[in-house]
Amino acid sequence: MNETLPLFALFALAAGACIWAAIERGRAERARSETRFLREQASTVAELLTGQAAQSAEQVAQRLIQSANDTFASQERLVQAKLEAQLKPVAETLEKVQQHVASVEKARAEDAGGLKAQLELLMRATADTQAEARRLTQALRRGAGVQGRWGEQMLRNVLEMAGLRAGYDFDEQTSLETSEGRLRPDVVVRLPGNAVFVIDAKCSLTAYLEAQEQADEAAREEAYLRHGQSLRAHMQSLAAKAYWSQFERAPDFVVMFVPGDPILAAAAERQPDLIVQAMDRRVVMVAPSGLFALCKAVAYGWRAEEQAVNARQIAELGQELYRRLSTMGDHVAGLGKALGAATSRYNAFVGSLETQVLTQARRLEALKADHASSRIEELKGVEVTPRPLTKLAEAPGRLDANDPPP
């Protein structure tokens, strides 16, 4: 009996424990169910709150966005108005600048058009000049006659530019009869004092023209050498003619005119002694520039001669004027003497009239005799006498008609 009681106690304890455990499991399960329910309710509430919050937030955001857009639009309009007010002078200035640039561009286009036209004219003139130069070169290569006529024309141009006149200061193509035959200098230039000098312009230019057309340097140099030899040969033949000996008054030289400074320079460069030898032979080789200076000196000499002639004529006119002034001075002196004599006779007449006649008339006035209303005024003599020509009279010796002026 005593052994059964502990077993029953043990069994009761075990059953109690099982019941407790079941109760605890039910509580735990109920707790878990409640927790799950609460979680589901919380989730549902959270979802509801989240949806409401999202809807409210969207509405609020839309209102905020609309308000911000309105604010931004008003601010943008304000800023744009301020910016337009600030940029209006700049826009006006830019418009004026644009108008000015447009006018400048228009003027530039017009100027460019005019410049283009001028360039076209210049190119056309250059082409015409080149064509004329080619024709001139071709004409000069035809022979010495054409070259001679061209040289004579160049010579005439230089003389006229220097101030000399054809037919007065120089003669062209004159003929001279000499013991060796007839000579025909191109130009004879007159100098003051009835002197003359001769200018020749018949040098050959064929070799020089050939040198200008050569593309090969060696061929060009060979043509230049022949050109120098041609000028030397012409200089020697010109010196042999001795033109200066054919005139009574002429400087002992003859001028050899080369119608171009480069033409003479090309020959002198290849033959440095050419000009010195020419001067030794009394031949002065000159290009247009040198001849221009020489003829300018001749023109100056003629002006000096003309001034000297004018001075002599002025001296003769001065002498004649002095003689006429001397004669007129004699007449003026005689007139002064006559005026002085007339004044003396007038004063004598007035004195006689006052003392012999007018005194009796004044006595009638004192006796109250019937007379005219006007009184007899006292007459006075002329005290002023003509001024003598003392300067002419005091001159150290009067000039006769043939005496020079003082």
CA distance 344 to 383: 9
CA distance 154 to 288: 8
361-373 b/e (C-beta count within 10 Å ≥ 16 → b) = eeeeeeeeeeeee
Residues 144-192 have pLDDT tens digits of: 556 667 778 888 888 888 888 888 888 887 777 666 667 788 888 888 8
Q: List Cβ neighbours of 172 (8 Å cut-off, separation of 6 or more).
A: 152, 156, 166, 186, 187
Q: Where do the structural domains in the chain lie, given as residue ranges?
A: 85-140, 143-286, 315-394
Contact 156, 167 (CB under 8 A): no
CA distance 391 to 26: 177
pTM for this one?
A: 0.47
Task: State the pLDDT at residue 118.
Answer: 82
CA distance 95 to 84: 15
Task: State the pLDDT at residue 401.
Answer: 42
Task: State the pLDDT at residue 356.
Answer: 76
Task: State the pLDDT at residue 59.
Answer: 75
Task: State the pLDDT at residue 404.
Answer: 47
What would you report as the CA-atom Rg of the chain, rounded to the nearest whole angstrom? 67
Contact 258, 285 (CB under 8 A): yes
CA distance 124 to 22: 129
Each residue's pLDDT, cut to its tens digit, for the chain (406 residues) gives 444 445 555 555 665 566 656 666 666 666 676 677 667 766 776 677 676 666 676 776 677 777 767 777 777 778 778 777 776 777 778 788 888 888 888 888 877 778 888 888 888 887 777 666 565 555 555 555 566 677 788 888 888 888 888 888 888 877 776 666 677 888 888 888 788 888 888 888 888 888 887 778 888 889 888 888 888 998 998 888 888 888 888 888 889 988 888 888 888 888 888 889 999 999 988 888 888 888 888 888 888 777 777 888 888 888 888 888 888 888 888 888 888 888 888 888 877 777 777 777 777 766 665 555 566 666 666 666 777 766 554 444 444 444 444 4
Q: List Cβ neighbours of 78 (8 Å cut-off, separation of 6 or more).
A: none
CA distance 295 to 335: 59
Integer CA distances (angstroms), 155 to 75, 180, 227, 405, in order: 92, 27, 20, 47
Contact 152, 201 (CB under 8 A): yes
Q: List Cβ neighbours of 310 (8 Å cut-off, separation of 6 or more).
A: none
CA distance 207 to 217: 15
Phi/psi for 255 (5° steps) reads: -95, 125
Task: Show contacts of 223-229: CB within 8 Å, 24+ apart.
Answer: 224/266, 224/267, 224/269, 224/270, 225/270, 227/263, 227/266, 227/267, 227/270, 228/266, 228/267, 228/268, 228/270, 228/271, 228/274, 229/271
Instruction: Select from 185, 224, 183 the least CA-distant residue to 207.
Output: 224
